[in-house]
Amino acid sequence: MQTPTTLSRPLAQRVAGLHDPRAPAATAPALPASVIEAAASALDRGETHYTDRPGIPEFRAWVADHLRERYNVMVDPAEVTITCGSTEARFVCMTLLAAPGGSVLCPGDRSPIRGAAHLVGASIVDSVQDDISLLYITPDDYRETSIELLRRAEETDWWIVYDLSFAKTNPPFHPAQNPKLASRVVTINSLSVSLAGWRLGWMAGSEMALRLRAGKQAITICTTAVSQWAGLEWARTQL
Amino acid sequence: MTMNANPNIPEEVRAVAADGTQLRYALMEMAREMDDVIALGRGDPDLDTPPHIVEAAKAAIRDGRANLTPVKGMDDLRAAIAAHLREVNGLPVAAENVMVTTGGQEGLFLAIQALIDPGDEILVPDPRYSSYDDAIHRAGGIMVAVPTNREDAFNLEAEAVEAAITPATKALLIVTPSNPTAGIVTEDRARAIADVAIRHNLIVIVDEIYGKIVYEPWRHFSIGSLPGMAERTITLDAFSKAYAMTGWRCGYVAAPKNVIDAMARVKQVTTGPVAAVSQWAGLAAITGPQDCVSEYLKIYTERRAVLLDGLDRMGFAYGEPRGGLFVWADSSSTGIHAAELSYLLLKEGRVLIFPGTAFGDKWREYVRITMLEPIDTLKAAVERMLPVLERYQL
């Protein structure tokens, strides 16, 4: 049998700027019994169909509650979309909030958004310039720099993505606590450390929430149902 | 018969019905908030995932095997998919030609990102599943419609494909069986289309997600199995429909190795690997007993007969639905714009169907109806729709 190795025509040029995937970690921590049972119970009661496109209501409500309790940030559950890991949330945000040919301002580690920015056709910069449409920050960025950039954001129409998913620190600070910015802030987070294989993340908040939801739907429709039930149990009991 | 000015339709209905795609989402939202709606809109099988698949997933969870996998998918699953595609579909592929995706829709998205540059034209049969639009537009591609028609049961003609080709054409997208038309690309047509694709050096992206749901006497045929096609064909499929696994979000792509490598690069930065539990479920589906697929097909065959009988009573015409889970029906006999008709059937009949305009602007005389409810429910839906039609049709 002759298996096909090379397409008859060239690939899209954008592919050349992307890296080969990394190998996954060899092991993951054991799951708590309650999470295992939550997943098994969901399957037993037939949670094998599409969920609501933005995610199961219980999980979206938990995300909204968590943001309120942890950061005093008010987000309606209707503004929460459960995603296939934070990877999908970042990609959707980059797609819809960063302008092709424009720049994303990122004062810290740019590796989480490098590939998505490339696909969108946006540049990543670490200082303020005229063509910025999106500010991407994390809790691990140097705090004084973030505060200064958020102060600049008040005078602009930048969108702000606050990505908690890889944070080594978890301060109570949140850019949406500033009422001048709150409607432009999207929070990204995930359960990627503890439930990496289940592919669960979310994006929450902003005036763009419904468009972000539609952007996710266009790629994967909804997030794996049983993952959402497992993740909900994890979130309720472990966070 | 005009589709523009039905005096029986209130103005507020017209306002809601102005945008077919938005109406599709609005109808789903509206149905969710109503009691006792018969939902014949979404393509989500009402049947449950077979027990042996669920049990395999539960075992993987309990055994601690739901860990992060490679972006292309678990090796065992990729090998099993390749073996299945060789044996059932005749595709000359190995595991290196396969990648697991987060459902069939992501497979299309990744393929377009990997293949289409801005300005490239991609031929798409009309009507179309409108979720393709976003993937093509994001890549800067230009969608070019290839007509199909009811008299031909929405089979795709090689002549129509060739007539749409320009110097900018890079790819042809085939969906067989089709969503929304339920037409299939028959083997003779596939051979003629393959000849066109080879002569014009086109890439063929073929969505075969309904390939296991084809009604007698028709047969599914994979164009990628033809000589000279393996190096130009990207075959998309998923477990969602045939095994009633929509919520697991697990599909796959078969393609030349360099395409799979490119798609994996894209997938790394868009969604990452598929949930491991879904991959274990997919492995059980494709390596386990296939009786469930034939049992489900038997159920859909019986439902299809009931639904077609109901459409006859309603005066709707249709091309023979040869595969898939829908009937694409011509509702022009009512004199009501399809978007308005869908709204009225939901509001007054409590039956959710989708207007044809959600699958192409010109399809205002068509509706898409699923057979994803039990027979008694389908009969009840027809009984609910008939008086609404009598009340409003011109």
Q: What is the pLDDT of residues A106-145, one digit of tens each?
A: 999 999 999 999 999 999 999 999 999 999 999 999 999 9
CB contact under 8 A, B277 and A227: yes
Q: What is the pLDDT of residues B173-194, one digit of tens each?
A: 999 999 999 999 999 999 999 9
Residue B89 has pLDDT above 90, yes or no: yes
Query: Where do runs of H (alpha helix) occur along B315-368?
Result: 338-349
Q: What is the pLDDT of residue B306?
A: 97
What integer is the mean pLDDT of B221-245?
A: 98
Q: Judge residue A111's burial from the number of C-beta atoms within 10 Å of its C-beta, 0-12 exposed, 13-18 middle, 19 or more buried.
A: exposed
Helix (H, G, I), strand (E, B) or coil at A141: coil
CB contact under 8 A, A224 and B277: yes
Q: Quick count: other Cβ atoms within 10 Å of Cβ B222?
A: 23
Q: What is the pLDDT of residue B33?
A: 87
Q: Is the ipTM reported for this complex over the cut 0.95?
A: yes
Contact indicator for A130, A101 with CB cutoff of 8 Å: no
Q: Is A9 left (phi over 0), alpha (psi -120 to 50) or beta?
A: beta
Helix (H, G, I), strand (E, B) or coil at B307: helix
Of B364, B387, B373, B360, the residue nearest B145 (C-alpha): B360
What integer is the mean pLDDT of A167-189?
A: 95
Contact indicator for A61, A69 with CB cutoff of 8 Å: no
Least Cα separation, residue B121 to chain A (angstroms): 13
Residue B1 has pLDDT above 50, yes or no: no
Q: Domain containing A182: what range?
A: 31-238
Residues contacting residue A189 through CB under 8 Å, at least 6 positions apart: A63, A86, A163, A164, A165, A201, A202, A204
Residues contacting residue B44 through CB under 8 Å, at least 6 positions apart: A49, A50, B246, B372
Question: A188 phi and psi, to 5 degrees?
Answer: -115, 140
Q: Which of B94, B138, B170 sits opposite A95 (nearest CB)?
A: B138
User: DSSP per residue over A87-113, as a string?
Assistant: HHHHHHHHHHHSPTTSEEE-SS--HHH
Is A11 part of any domain? no
Q: What is the mean pLDDT of chain B?
A: 94
CA torsion through residues B365, B371, B373, B375, sign? positive
Q: How confident is the model at residue B16 (pLDDT cuts 50, 70, 90)?
A: low
Q: What is the pLDDT of residue B350?
A: 97
Strand pairing class (B142-147; B121-126): parallel
Contact indicator for B370, B342 with CB cutoff of 8 Å: no
Residue B63 has pLDDT above 90, yes or no: yes
CB contact under 8 A, B257 and A4: yes
What integer is the mean pLDDT of A22-43?
A: 89
Number of domains in chain A: 1
Of B105, B95, B17, the residue nearest B341 (C-alpha): B17
Q: Per DSSP, which regions of A41-152 are E strands?
A: 80-83, 103-105, 123-125, 132-137
Q: What is the pLDDT of residues B329-358, one digit of tens each?
A: 999 999 988 988 998 999 999 999 999 988
Is A5 part of any domain? no
Lowest mean pLDDT among A20-34, A212-226, B43-57, B85-99: A20-34
Give the rounded percent of residues in chain B with a pLDDT score beyond 90: 86
Of B171, B161, B110, B166, the residue nearest B139 (C-alpha): B110
Q: What architecture (CATH level 2) is domain B11-43+292-392?
A: Alpha-Beta Complex (3.90)
Q: Is B161 left (phi over 0), alpha (psi -120 to 50) or beta?
A: alpha
Q: Is B154 left (phi over 0), alpha (psi -120 to 50) or beta?
A: left
Residue B12 has pLDDT above 80, yes or no: no
Residue B2 has pLDDT above 60, yes or no: no
Q: What is the pLDDT of residue B21?
A: 63
Q: Which residue has the tokens 């289940």?
A: A198
Strand pairing class (B169-175; B121-126): parallel
Whether cis (ω within 30° of 0) applies to the bond prior to B127 is yes
CB contact under 8 A, A199 and B272: yes
| CATH number of the domain to which A145 belongs | 3.40.640.10
The Cα A147–Cα A149 span in angstroms is 5
Q: Which of A12, A91, A225 sits opposite B247 (nearest CB)?
A: A225
Tell me the chain B residues in contact with residue A82 when contact means C-beta distances shorter than 8 Å: none
Q: Which of B96, B102, B256 sits opposite A220 (nearest CB)?
A: B102
Task: Say how far residue A43 (Cα) sits from the centre of its chain.
Answer: 26
Q: Which residue of B has its CA nearest to A192?
A: B68
Lowest mean pLDDT among A20-29, B89-98, B278-287: A20-29
Is A10 part of any domain? no
Query: Does residue A221 belong to the interface with chain B, where contact is any CB pair within 8 Å?
Result: yes
Of B160, B165, B217, the residue nearest B186 (C-alpha): B217
Strand-by-strand arrangement of the B317-318 sheet: B317-318, B326-330, B366-370, B354-355
The CA distances from residue A53 to A44, A78, A220, B115, in Å, are 21, 11, 9, 27
Helix (H, G, I), strand (E, B) or coil at B46: coil
Give the rounded percent of residues in chain B with a pLDDT score beyond 70: 94
The Cα B47–Cα B131 span in angstroms is 24
Q: Judge residue B149's burial from the number of C-beta atoms within 10 Å of its C-beta, 0-12 exposed, 13-18 middle, 19 or more buried.
A: middle
Q: What is the pLDDT of residue B10?
A: 59
Q: What is the pLDDT of residue B204?
A: 98
Q: Which residue has the tokens 């034939």?
A: B294
Q: Which residue of B has its CA nearest to A115?
A: B269
What integer is the mean pLDDT of B247-276?
A: 98
Query: Does residue A88 belong to the interface with chain B, where contact is any CB pair within 8 Å?
Result: yes
Q: Which of A45, A120, A224 to mutate to test the interface with B (most CBs of B within 10 A)?
A: A224
Q: Which one is the CATH code of B52-287: 3.60.60.10, 3.30.530.20, 3.30.565.10, 3.40.640.10?
A: 3.40.640.10
Strand-by-strand arrangement of the A123-125 sheet: A80-83, A201-204, A185-190, A159-163, A132-137, A103-105, A123-125
The CA distances from residue B162 to A30, B147, B195, B223, in Å, are 56, 11, 10, 16
Lowest mean pLDDT among A65-74, B116-125, B173-182, B359-368: B359-368
Residues contacting residue B379 through CB under 8 Å, at least 6 positions apart: B306, B310
Any idea where the domains of chain B sit in the sequence? Answer: 11-43+292-392, 52-287
